[in-house]
Chains A and B, each alone.
Chain A
Amino acid sequence: MKSSERLTKAWYGVLVLLMAFGGWAIIERVQAGLVVTNLTSDMTWGAWVAFYIFFVGLSVGSFLLSTMFFVFKMEKYQKISRDALLVAILSMGLAMCFILLDLGRMERFWHTLRYWNFTSMLAWEVRFYAIYIGLLTVEFYFSMRQDLIRVAQGTGWQASLVSFLTFGSTDLTDKSKQRDHKLLKNFRLNWNSHCYFRSSRGGRYAFCRG
């Protein structure tokens, strides 16, 4: 075994140990409640809230990065554009996990969507997160559609699973490709606020000149 391979294995071992520790901590927290966190009524919010905000920020950053290719056609970002979208989705998932752990009554998380207090920033946030995650998922799907169709034309269980996702489409022509790209682009332009569009366009020009 090469030494670099050994190093990788050791690193993975450390990661697995850390994950096991995290899993144990989550079980502790779920069983015993927030009392294990050492939070108090004077210090009400702890690291989980900070992590949650961090991952939301990470997600939006990744999303903007993917925009470089999907909307502004900056080819040098093509390689990472889809990865960036995936990171955006995963980050949102993580952020939601953190904030779920932080709730005093986790089983009532759905109350945040069922009941709405118009003046509460948090209530608005939750709704926008839901829309945003939906948007990311749809975009991710369209960014992968061409490849999915390709896989669906193969054989085996992957193919049948994927053909379910592509609704049996076999259209791999340039036209369908262009349509997907256009969809991706329009989706963003329609969904994101005018303000965001303007600022990214400004950014693009600055970038191109530089």
Chain B
Amino acid sequence: MKFSAHPAPHLPPTRRDRVLRVACVLALLGLALMIWGIFVPTPMPILIGLSVGQAMGTSSFVLYLIVLATDLGIRKKLVRAGRTEKS
């Protein structure tokens, strides 16, 4: 794999990690709510799973994408900087 040869630039446990942790917790809560309605198929669990559960899952997904995009942006800048140094 191309990237693993160049380990990620070691940023201090910054906002990125905190955002990711929030994304993980949101995902766990969202998944729990979505699954609740399967085991207890009554109005409230199903309703909450379809609304709150979905919302949490989606926010977790979006947070992850934001981290990914920011991270790749930084990497590109570093790679570009590295190239200009060599030349």
Answer yes or no: are A and B bound together in one complex.
no
Give chain B's interface residues, CB within 8 Å of chain A. Answer: none
Give chain A's interface residues, CB within 8 Å of chain B. Answer: none
